[in-house]
Amino acid sequence: MILERVYQLAKPQLMGRTIKDVRIGLSLLTVEMDNGLLGVTYVLRNEIEHVCAMLPHVENLIGMKAEEIALWAVEGKNVIQNALGLAVLNAVANYEGLKQIESFQTTDAFFSVDIKPEDTVGVIGHIGPIIKQLENNKNRIFVFERDLSNGTETTYPESAQPDLLPKCQIVFVTSSSLINRTLEPLLSYCSNARDIIMVGSSTPLYPEAFIGTGVSVLAGTQWLSTYKQPILETVSQCGGIQKLMKYGQKISIKVSDQMVFEGQR
């Protein structure tokens, strides 16, 4: 399981750390560590169960061991626990180490791979900026969504993935698929994909964890501690990713089978 690998890679950075603040909005959630590091992930509000409480011991989140909440990414019982765990893992990623890797870029996911005009492109989740660029390029597009209420003629249900994803040379995947546990099954359908790109603020920037999965590029965000107050306030006030992006640094990194990531062994 990919998130088990991420957790093991993050463990050294989690040891001795605690949670200083947690904010859960309608679109995003963020976690602040005791050393000021921040992680942000999506809130899949359409997949939240109809229960009174999503979190056990919610009054004790502040001050909890970071390692304990990070494990929710692997063992969480619902999408909020899963997202909180992933936010902690994202907060402690070795961003300085990533900058030493040759393929490190600060570009949009769309520009991290070579897309040819004749390529058929799959998009898992309605990733608006990616879809717009592909439409401008006149590529053939298959967009896959759980919620088809805002769909178009190029939008398909999850059930179509086994038939259509093998026809794609490029596949962009929302990293929210890690939160709802749909990523690993769909990767098996991308048998003819030249590149598979993980996209979004939920992307765990741990390239070693994705070796052998078929994923070739991770495109995520480092949230800058300098702006922790506006980040916390924006999430608390139900702000979305467009409002938040000015406080982050986009990062894309290639996954390589020969990768040796110092400090995360």
At position 63, the amino acid (one-letter code) is G
**Residue whose token pair is 């896959």:** 144
User: What's the predicted TM-score (pTM) here?
Assistant: 0.91
Q: What is the pLDDT of residues 60-114, one digit of tens each?
A: 899 999 999 999 999 999 999 999 999 999 999 999 999 988 888 888 888 888 9
Mean pLDDT of 36-64: 79
Domain ranges of the chain: 2-95+222-248, 109-217
3-state secondary structure of 254: strand
Within 8 A by CB and 6+ apart from 260, the residues are: none
Range in 11-20, 24-33, 99-108 with the lowest mean pLDDT = 99-108
Range in 53-62, 82-91, 245-254 with the lowest mean pLDDT = 53-62
Q: What is the CATH number of domain 109-217?
A: 3.40.50.11590
Residue 57 has pLDDT above 70, yes or no: no
Beta strand pairing status for 155-156 and 170-174? unpaired
Rounded to whole angstroms, how far apart are CA atoms 176 and 31?
16
Helical axes 79-91 vs 2-14, angle rounded to 10°: 50
Range in 145-149, 180-184, 225-229 with the lowest mean pLDDT = 145-149
Q: Taking all residues of the chain, what is their mean pLDDT, rounded to a whole number?
A: 90
pLDDT value at residue 167: 97
pLDDT value at residue 59: 65
Beta strand pairing status for 38-42 and 170-174? unpaired
Mean pLDDT of 237-259: 89
Between CA 176 and CA 212, with CA 47 as vertex, the angle to 5 degrees is 30
Residue 264 has pLDDT above 60, yes or no: no
Q: Please give the CATH architecture assigned to the domain spanning 2-95+222-248.
A: 2-Layer Sandwich (3.30)
